[in-house]
Structure 1
Amino acid sequence: MQSEAPGRISLAGAYAFGYGALGMAQLEGEDPDWFNALDPLDTLFLGTVWPQNFRDEFEFANARDAWLQMLRDTVHWDDIQQFVAIVVEASEELGLAIDEGELMLLVAGRLGAARLDRRRIPRDLLPEVALAESRVARGVSPDYQLPVPVADAAGRVERFWAGTELDLPQDGTAVDALRAGLRLLGRAGMPVREESSTLLPALYVALVAKDDEELAQAGERATAWAMGLPGDSPLIPVADALLVGHGMAMSADTLLGHLFAVPAFTEPVRSLDRRWHSSPGIAFVDLAFEMGISQVRTRAGKVTKLDPEAIAALRAQHRRFEAAFGRPPAPDEPIFFDPKSRLPRMPSLETFHRDSVALWRELGLDPAWIHAYEQTRGLLPRPDGTFFTESDEDEWNLAINEYLERDGGQEPDNDGNLQIIRTVAVMADLKTAAKDPEHGVSLVRMLDSDQHELLQSFLLHMSEFLSGQLREDAVVATAAHEYARAWAGGQLAAEVRRESGAPADSAPISEVKILLTAAVAVFAQANG
C-alpha cells in the first residue's frame, strides 16, 4: 500500500486498502452490521473509497454497482474479471467460501503474482470523482420535469384502479405490476389511493420483493432499488416520476396521470430490473455468472447459476407449493415437498433416490450411467453434456471408470443417454405447461428470445408430426387454441387457428410457439 501514489491505485492496492479498512473497523468496534456481508469485490470497492463512509448498505451497494458499470468500457474491466477469476480459483482449490475471512486474506497474496498491482486506476475513474455527478450520488436531477399527462388520463386512471379490485394474471408491464402491488398492499389494509407514497413500494413489492420480506421495510428498500437501477434501465423514467411525485406530495391519481405519459410504464419490465441489487454480497456472484462460471461457494452455501429453463421450473414448483398448501413457502420450508404429506416436508431422500434410479433404468439409461448416478448420489450431466463444476465432472468420470474397470461393463452410449435426459426435460416442460398456464407463458417468452434451445430443437424435430396432429385432430386443435390464448393472447391464438385450418398436406409448421401449443395439447390428450 505504501507504493500507491495519491489519487492513483491498482486493483491489488485497492483490495489491500479495503481489507485493511475492514480489519481496523472490527478492531475499533465501528464496523456496521452489513460489513459482515462484504465479499471480495465489495472489499475491493471499499478500498477505492476509503476512508469515505456510507449512510447505509444501500448507498454502498448502489455506488459499487455504478462504479463497476463505469469501468466496463475501460481497460480496467479486464483486471476486474481477472480478479474475480483468481478468487473463484482460490476458493475451489482450497475449499473455502469466497467471503470467508481466511480466503480473503490469502487472495491478497495472489494479486501481485497475477500482476494486478501494475496498472493504476487514474483519479478520474475512482468513485469519488467518477460518481460525483451520477444519479446514485445526486439523486433525481433537480431539473427533472414530470411529463404532461395524456389526454385521457382521468379515464385510464379510473380503469387502472378498477383493475386493482380484480385478481388478474400479470402481463409483465410496469403498469400491471403496479396494479398487482397496490392490490396486495390494499388487501393488507394500507390506504393505497389516499397518497402517492404507496406507489413506489407497490411497484417494488410486485416486481422485486421476496415473499418473506416485511411490508414495513418496503418503502426504504423500494427507494434503494429505484436509485440503484442500472444507468441503461428503461425503468428509470418511471422510478424518477414516482420519486419526484411523492416528494411533491402529489395525489396518487395525479401522479398516475403523469405516469401514463411515460412510455416505459406500459412496456414489459426486463428481468434485470426485477432483481434486488442494493446490498453487499451480490455483485461478485453476478459477475462470476456473467463470466461463465457456473458455481460459486459462499458462506451461505454453493450458489449455482440456473438457466432460464431451470428458473421457469422452480417457479412452477413454487406455484405447486401454493396450490397444495394455500400459501407461499416460508424461508425454512422445502419447495420440493412430499405430495402425500399434509405438511410441507421433504420427501425421504432414500425413497426419492430409489425411485429415481428405477425411473432411469426404465427409460433405458446405460448401466454405467446408472452406476455413476448411484455412486455420486444423484449427479447427472446437464442436457448439453456439461456439469456445473469441474469437481462434479471429475467425480462422475471417476464413477464411470470405476464401473468399466471393476465390472468390465461396456462403454456407455453417451449420445443416447443425453438424448434420454433431453427428452425427459422436454416432457417435464410439456407436462407442467399443460397444468400451469404461467409456465406456458414462461416457455413462450423463452422461445421468443431464443433462450430455450433444447425445447426449440425438439419442436422443430417433431414439426411434421405436430403439424399433422394440429390439422387432423379437432381435439388437439381446440386445446392448442386455448393454450395459445391463455399464454400469449389473441395473436398467437389466431395463428394457431389459421394453421389448424390448413390442408393436411401443407408444409410443416416452422413457428415454434405454434408447435409448442400443439405439443402440449398432444401430451395432455395422451395423458388424460
Structure 2
Amino acid sequence: MTGPGSARPPRAWEGDMGKASRKKRKQRAQGAARAVSAEAAAGDGPQALGDAALGRLLRSNEPGKLSLAGAYAFGYGALGIAQQEGTTPYWYQEMDPLDTLFLGTVWPKSFSDEFEFANARDAWLRLLRGTVHGKGILRFFREAVAASEDLGLPVDDGRLMLALIGRLETAGLDQRRLPRRLLPGPALQDCRAVFGPSPDLPLPDPPVDAKQRVKRFWKGRDDKRWADDTPQAVLRDGLHRFHDDELPVREESGLLLAALYAALLTKPGELLEDMGEHASAWASSLDEASPLVPVLDILIVAPELEMSVSETLGRLFAVPAFTEPIPSEALLWTSSPGLALPRLAFELGIPQVSALDGVITPDLLDWVGMRTRMHLSAVARGQSDDLEDTESADGSDSTPQESDDRWAKRREAVRDTVREKIRKKSGGATPSLRRFDRPVERIWNADGSSVVRISTDSPHGQELKEALAGQRVAFREKFGRDPGPGDPLFFDPDADEPTRLTWEYIDNMLLDMTERAAEMGIEPAFLHAWRELGYVVTEQNRSTFTTAEVLAFSRAVARHWQAGK
C-alpha cells in the first residue's frame, strides 16, 4: 500500500513478456492442464468434451489475446501448472470458475496474496459492467451455474470446472476477444482497490471546531448501538474495545483502521495479528464511488504520514460520510476467492449456490466470507495441520472441549506475542483481552469454526436448555433412539430419516407466522427481515453477531416496516 508522495510499487501481474517466454509458458500450460484433466476426462462425458475444448482454446488463444472462454482455459491451465509443480498457493483451494476466469486474464503473471487477487478481481468485474463484455461475464456465470445444476456438482468441483470449458465454447464465448485495454494489467492501472489511495490524495482540512468534536468523540459511548450505524460510532466502539484491552489507541493512528474493521466485521476468534492486514484489504476493496472511501483513505494514509490520532480524527470530521450511515456494500467481506460468484448469483435472484463446503444461501454470505478469511489466514500461519476441529491427529473424533482447549491455547499464544509487541512499543502494561459471560455465547476459533456454549445460570439460558431437552425427547419419539453425533437436533418432522431442516421449510414456517403476526403480538417487519436475511437478531442473541450483521438486520426491519405502512 502506498501513501501520498510515494512511488507506486509494481504488481507481479503487470507488464509484458517476450514472445519466446509466452510461447514456452503456453506449452507448459497445455501440458499441465492436460495432465490434471486426464483422469477426469476419461470417457466421452462432459469432462472429456471439456478436455477437448481445453486443447482447442489453449491453441487458439494466447496471453493478451483472449476470449472469455480462452481466459478461463488459461486460468484452468494455471491451476494445473501449480498443482503439477507443487507450487499451489494456499488460497487456490477456494477458487471457483469466476476466480479461474480472472486468473486466466492475467496469466502467466501471479498475485502476491489472496487479498490482492480478490480486490483486483472485483475491480475488474465492476469495470466490465455495462459493457458488451459485462454481458459476456453474465453468460459465463449462467453457464457455470447451469453446469452445476445439470451435473449435480458443486461450482468449485474440479470435474465441473473441466466440463465447463466445453460449455463455454458451445455458448460462443470463444468468439469475441477481450480488448487489451480491458485486460486487468492495463485496465487496473492506478486502481485504488489494488494500489490503495492515490499518491496525490488531497486530505481535507479539519473543521474549525475539530478539537471540541474530538473531545466529544472520546467521551461518547453508548452500549445500545442498534441505530448507531455511522463510521464515527463504530470506530469509537472499536477504539473503546481496544482501549479496554490496553492498546495505545490515543497514540497510534495505525490502530484506527483496525479498530473500525474490528468493531464492524470481526468475530471474537479473529486474531489480533490478522486484523491489520484484513482491515487494509477490506478498506481497499470498496468501489471508488462509495461515499465511505474518503473516510477509509484518511485512515489508510494517516500512519504513513505520521499523523497523530487527534489530527486524524479532526480530518475525519471534515468528511460528511464519517457521520452518515455506513453504506450497505461495506458490511460484507469480499476480499477472498470464492465470494464473487455467489454474490453475483444472489444479485441476479438465484436463491442458492452449491459449493464443496456446502450450499451457500444469501443468509450465509457473511459467514462464508468470515470463514474464508479466517481459514486462509490460519493456513498462511502454518496452522493447517488440524484445522478441522472435530478430528484429532489419529483420525478419531475429539470432543468440543478438547477442540476448544486446543484453539484457546493457540489464540492465547498469538495474543501473548501481540501484547508483548505493544508493551515494548507503548511502554505500558500488557493488555488483557477480557471475556464477558453471556447466556448464549459462540466461541470462534481462528480458522472460522465455532462452538456454541449456553450458560444455564440465567432464565434465558435455562429456557434454551429446556428447549434442547425437548428436542431430544422429540427425536427419540420420532426415530426410536437418541440423536447421534451426526444427527440434526432440529429435524424435518415429515422425513423418515433424521434430516436437517431445509431453508425452504423454515421460510414456509416464517411465512405462516407473518400471516398470524398480529394475533401473536409480533411485528410483521421483524419476520420479513428474518425471511430475507435468514437470521434474527434479538437482545438475547445480539452478542453472537457482528455489528455489520446487526446493522443489516435492523435496516431490513426498517425497510419492511416502511413498506407495510
TM over 0.5: yes
Deviations 1:473-526 (A, max 9, x none): xxxxxxxxxxxxxxxxxxxxxxxxxxxxxxxxxxxxxxx3xxxxxxxxxxxxxx
Instruction: Indicate the RMSD between aligned Cα atoms, in angstroms.
Output: 3.8
Matched with 2:142 is: 85
Indicate the residue corresponding to 2:428 in structure 1: none
Larger radius of gyration: 1
Judge conservation of contact 1:329–1:335 (CA < 8 Å) in 2: no
| 342-351 or 55-64, which deviates more | 342-351
Shift of 1:372: 5.3
Distance 1:122 1:328, change over 3 A: same
| CA deviation after TM superposition for structure 1 residue 129, in Å | 0.8
Alignment counterpart, residue 197 of structure 2, candidates 121, 132, 140: 140
| 2:363 alignment partner, SS class | coil
Residue 422 of structure 1 aligns to which amino acid in structure 2? Answer: T
In structure 2, the CA distance between the partners of 1:289 and 1:335, relative to structure 1 (3 Å rule), is farther
Aligned residue in 1 for 2:555 = 445
Bigger CA drift: 338-347 or 263-272?
338-347
Distance 1:344 1:216 in 2: 40
**Displacement of 1:211:** 2.8
TM-score by length of 1: 0.67
Spell out, residue by residue over 1:358-386, the C-alpha distance to the aligned partner (whole angstroms, 9 max, x if none).
xxxxxxxxxxxx9857787645857987x
User: 2 CA distance for matches of 1:162 and 1:269?
Assistant: 22
Amino acid at match of 1:169: R
Corresponding residue of 2:450: 332
Asked whether the 8 Å contact 2:118–2:337 carries over to 1, the reply is yes
Letter in 2 for 1:420: D
Deviations 1:315-335 (A, max 9, x none): xxxxxx984146656633249
CA distance in 1, matches of 2:150, 2:194: 39
5 Å-filtered alignment, 1:94-173, equals 94-163=151-220, 167-169=223-225, 171-173=228-230
Deviation at 1:150, TM superposition (A): 0.7
Amino acid at match of 2:142: A
SS of equivalent to 2:450: coil
Shift of 1:145: 1.8
For 1:13, what is the secondary structure of its paired residue?
helix
Which residue of 98, 115, 119 maps to 1:41? 98
Is the alpha carbon distance of 1:379 and 1:29 closer, same or farther for their aligned partners in structure 2, counting shifts above 3 Å? closer
SS where residue 73 of structure 1 aligns? coil
Q: Report the 3-state secondary structure (helix = DSSP H, G, I; strand = E; otherwise coil) of the residue aligned with 1:66.
A: helix
Deviation of 1:306 after TM superposition, in Å, equals 3.2
Match of 2:121 among 28, 45, 64: 64
In structure 1, C-alpha distance between the alignment counterparts of 2:466 and 2:239, rounded to whole Å: 29
Alignment of structure 1 residues 58-457 onto 2, 5 Å: 58-163=115-220, 167-169=223-225, 171-306=228-363, 323-325=438-440, 331-334=449-452, 340=462, 351=473, 378=501, 381=504, 420-423=512-515, 427=520, 430=523, 445-446=555-556, 448-449=558-559, 452=560
Shift of 1:423: 2.9
Q: Is the 8 A contact 1:336 1:346 kept in 2?
A: no
**CA separation of 1:143/1:328 partners in 2, compared to 1, >3 Å: closer, same or farther?**
same
Tell me which residue corresponds to 1:518. Answer: none
SS at match of 2:360: strand
Contact 2:441 2:453 in 1 (8 A): no
The runs of 5 or more residues in structure 1 that have no matched partner are: 309-320, 357-369, 386-416, 461-511, 513-528
Q: What displacement does 1:167 show?
A: 3.6
Counterparts in 2 of 1:257 and 1:418: CA distance versus 1, 3 Å: closer
The question of whether the paired residues in 2 share the 8 Å contact of 1:10 and 1:116 is answered with yes
Q: Contact 1:337/1:345 (CA < 8 Å) preserved in 2?
A: no
| Aligned length in residues | 401
- The percentage of aligned residue pairs carrying the same residue is 45
Q: Secondary structure at the match of 2:325?
A: coil
The separation in 1 between residues aligned to 2:92 and 2:364, in whole angstroms, is 31
Give secondary structure in 2 for the equivalent of 1:182: helix
Q: Which amino acid aligns with 2:341?
A: F
State the one-letter code of the partner of 1:38.
M
* Paired residues of 1:333 and 1:344 also in contact (CA < 8 A): no
Whether contact under 8 Å (2:443, 2:451) holds in the other structure is no
CA distance in 2, matches of 1:167, 1:418: 30
Aligned partner of 1:257: which letter? G
Flag the structure with higher helix content: 1
Report the residue type matching 1:258 in the other structure: R
| Distance verdict in 2 for CA 1:456–1:203, change over 3 Å | closer
Structure with greater contact order relative to length (CA < 8 Å, sep ≥ 6): 2
Alignment CA distance shift 1:65-1:80 (3 Å)? same
For residues 550 and 194 of structure 2, what CA distance do their matches in structure 1 show?
A: 42
